[in-house]
Amino acid sequence: MNSFATLGLSKGLQKTLSTNGINKPTLIQENVIPVLLEGKDFMAKAQTGTGKTFAYVLPILEKSKSNTHHVQSLIITPTRELAIQVTSEIRKLTTKNKGFSVLSVYGGKSHEEEIKELEQNVNIVVGTPGRLLDHLKRGNLDLSHLMFLVIDEADQLLQIGFLNKVEEILRKTPAHRQTMLFSATIPAEIKKLGRKYMKTPKFIEVVEAERSSSINQYAIFTVDRAKQDTVIQLIEAFQPSKSIVFCRTKRRVTKLYQVLKSKGYKVAELHGDIPQEKREMVMEQFRTGEVPMLVATDVASRGLDIEGVTHVFNYDMPENAEIYIHRIGRTGRAGETGLAYTLYSSEERILLDEIETELNSRIQKQNLGNTISLRSKTTSKKKGVNRQGNKNSKDRESLTRKKGEFKDKQITSKKSSNSLKQKPSKYSEGTATETKPAFTGRRTGKKSSSKSNNQKNRR
């Protein structure tokens, strides 16, 4: 594995990274940082949790000028939460640089406060498209001296209808800028955006080893009216130290949140109708562990790097495989072991089959009694103790090859098996039983074997 020194970063920045416990680059950082330091545009296909934030932040900090009166870098994010998170990561690396400042701008925050800060020689602006465009139209944000432009989570920007606003922002930036685009998927609209606004971009794809190498995935058959009791029994059985329960709608989030709260759980809700100030407070409480359980819509499944999540419960089935991956990806991060349980009904079985087919892997089916029985056997001697994830980590293996349209390299990794096998139990009283035969999917690939010596820089 390369070091940050061999990638071309200065000794000062290497020391800052070391102080923050970051000593070795991740796979995407190894391949992106040299390209950016050369001044080239690029598109990267990568999931969250691969270290992509530092992949673009480190070259920007390396090449930026201190004590300037201009905005040198603009980072466009799809959500307020991601804007706050990226800003926080940059501040960690620039605390000792007195002549350098970063500002996040997003809806729900005071215009006046942002305007005052923009007047104070901001070097990097991180924000959502709507608020960025608003400041540009009002003349509060000057991008005439912009050197670096980052479009983060581009496919989510497309999904929520912000791509036209991104284009409007791009048209207000200088042509000589260096442009970087990150996306979990590269649909036709994203390719078109790259061709139109980037200069012969290099294309880099990072395909992680299957998340199942660190996430054990299970599906439990139930009926909708029994979902509340089912998820409560799972929570009681596992006593997760930090967990997220995903629901399909804001209404279902609030209903489940109220039920869990009435039963004495320390829990918070997160969805689009929660005021921004409260959302920030909820996320901070969840990060610190003050509130160990979050009931959320998919607003919490994209772009957030929350450490220590041990369990994900899909109270409602995700609509497709991509959403499923992003939901369960909140656990098992940075090499830790996580558990993901998906509740499904007879009507949702077809959707579960489609997700398995798209992922080319099988999600192990269990009934509630079997799950709790097995859990009880392993925890009878540790009753009442919150279980922490396994700290052992696994590095992702990769190999590179030429990529067609953008004529650059693709980084791929070997797949690992889907989940741990468990022996069935005879205990099944009071549980729903599915009559349809289980889906028989194909399982391919090998387990990743190399160990990672550094996990903190997967931002």
* Region of poorest pLDDT, from 3-17, 130-144, 196-210, 247-261: 196-210
On the question of pLDDT at 157 being above 50, the answer is: yes
**Residue 85 pLDDT grade (very low, low, confident, very high; cuts 50, 70, 90):** confident
For residue 125, list its beta bridge partners.
74, 103
Q: Where are the domains of the chain?
A: 11-206, 211-382
Query: Any idea what DSSP says for residue 388?
Result: P
Q: Choose between 344 and 453: higher pLDDT.
A: 344
* Region of poorest pLDDT, from 56-65, 87-96, 158-167, 419-428: 419-428
Q: Choose between 435 and 421: higher pLDDT.
A: 435
Q: Choose between 361 and 41: higher pLDDT.
A: 41
431/186 Cα distance (integer angstroms): 42
* Region of poorest pLDDT, from 17-26, 39-48, 293-302: 293-302
**Residue 305 pLDDT grade (very low, low, confident, very high; cuts 50, 70, 90):** low
On the question of pLDDT at 169 being above 90, the answer is: yes
Q: What is the predicted pLDDT for the residue at 457?
A: 52
Quote the pTM value: 0.61
* Region of poorest pLDDT, from 128-132, 177-181, 251-255, 389-393: 389-393
**Residue 421 pLDDT grade (very low, low, confident, very high; cuts 50, 70, 90):** very low
Q: What is the predicted pLDDT for the residue at 362?
A: 85
How do beta strands 311-314 and 338-344 pair?
Answer: parallel
Average pLDDT over residues 372-390: 43
Q: What is the predicted pLDDT for the residue at 391?
A: 34
Q: What is the predicted pLDDT for the residue at 207?
A: 63
On the question of pLDDT at 87 being above 80, the answer is: yes
**11-206 and 211-382 in the same fold:** yes
* Region of poorest pLDDT, from 119-123, 226-230, 295-299, 394-398: 394-398
Nearest in space to 183 (alpha carbons), one of 320, 36, 79, 44: 44
**Residue 396 pLDDT grade (very low, low, confident, very high; cuts 50, 70, 90):** very low
Residue 199: how many CB atoms within 10 A of its CB? 12
Q: What count of residues does the chain have?
A: 459
pLDDT tens-digit series, residues 219-251: 999 988 899 999 999 999 999 999 999 999 999
Q: Choose between 174 and 392: higher pLDDT.
A: 174
* Region of poorest pLDDT, from 134-138, 282-286, 303-307, 424-428: 424-428
List, in order, residues 6 or more apart from 143 with CB less than 8 Å away.
Answer: 71, 74, 136, 172, 173, 174
Class of domain 211-382: alpha beta
**Residue 450 pLDDT grade (very low, low, confident, very high; cuts 50, 70, 90):** very low
Residue 332 Rama label (left phi>0; alpha psi -120 to 50; beta): left
Q: What tokens appear for 455 in the block?
A: 């996990």
Return phi, psi of residue 296, to 5°. -145, 160
How do beta strands 399-402 and 409-412 pair?
Answer: antiparallel
Domain 11-206, second-level architecture: 3-Layer(aba) Sandwich (3.40)
Q: Choose between 92 and 406: higher pLDDT.
A: 92
pLDDT tens-digit series, residues 99-122: 788 999 998 788 888 999 998 889
Average pLDDT over residues 340-360: 89
Helices (H), 139-241: 154-159, 163-170, 188-197, 227-238
On the question of pLDDT at 420 being above 80, the answer is: no
Average pLDDT over residues 377-386: 40
Q: Choose between 66 and 438: higher pLDDT.
A: 66
Q: Choose between 454 and 437: higher pLDDT.
A: 454
% of the chain at pLDDT higher than 70: 76
Contact 86, 75 (CB under 8 A): yes
